[in-house]
Amino acid sequence: ETGVTQTPRHLVMGMTNKKSLKCEQHLGHNAMYWYKQSAKKPLELMFVYNFKEQTENNSVPSRFSPECPNSSHLFLHLHTLQPEDSALYLCASSQDEDHSTDTQYFGPGTRLTVL
């Protein structure tokens, strides 16, 4: 266990559905991240939150909407997704985004399938 949990672990949704992914970290960290992991591609950074403020949106389509109510919780709201959005979505946390050598700790991911 890394101290970062994600729910659900698996999600199948249609293109017209609305769903949310949840991430919670128990490490006392201040920075949280969403990554997308597709087959045969490097991890793609999507969003970064530092002290609950969004500091990075890596040109992510608006059908992905993050929410960070506090430093321990991070959500990714999904709406009208496309089949190519099917991937493993990983959450990570680190002590502070401003410290470039802070290790990021990952959750187990949510395997998303869009039909």
Partner 1 sequence: GENVGLHLPTLSVQEGDNSIINCAYSNSASDYFIWYKQESGKGPQFIIDIRSNMDKRQGQRVTVLLNKTVKHLSLQIAATQPGDSAVYFCAENAYNTDKLIFGTGTRLQVFP
Query: In this structure, what token pair is assigned to residue 84?
Result: 């190519």
19 binds partner 1 per the rule CB under 8 A: no
Angle (CA) 100-106-110 rounded to 5° is: 135
- Provide the phi-psi class of 98: left if phi over 0, else alpha when psi is between -120 and 50, else beta: alpha
- Among positions 26-55, residues that touch partner 1 (CB under 8 A) are 40-43, 45
Region from 14-22, 59-67, 74-82, 91-99 binding partner 1, contact rule CB under 8 A: 91-99
- The gap from C-alpha 21 to its chain's centroid, in whole angstroms, comes to 8
Give the Cβ contact number of residue 113 at 10 Å: 13
Task: Pick the closer one to partner 1 by CB: 16 or 100.
Answer: 100
Question: Shortest gap between Cβ of 96 and partner 1 (angstroms)?
Answer: 9
List interacting residues with partner 1 (CB under 8 A): 2, 4, 6, 40-43, 45, 56, 90, 92, 97-101, 103-109
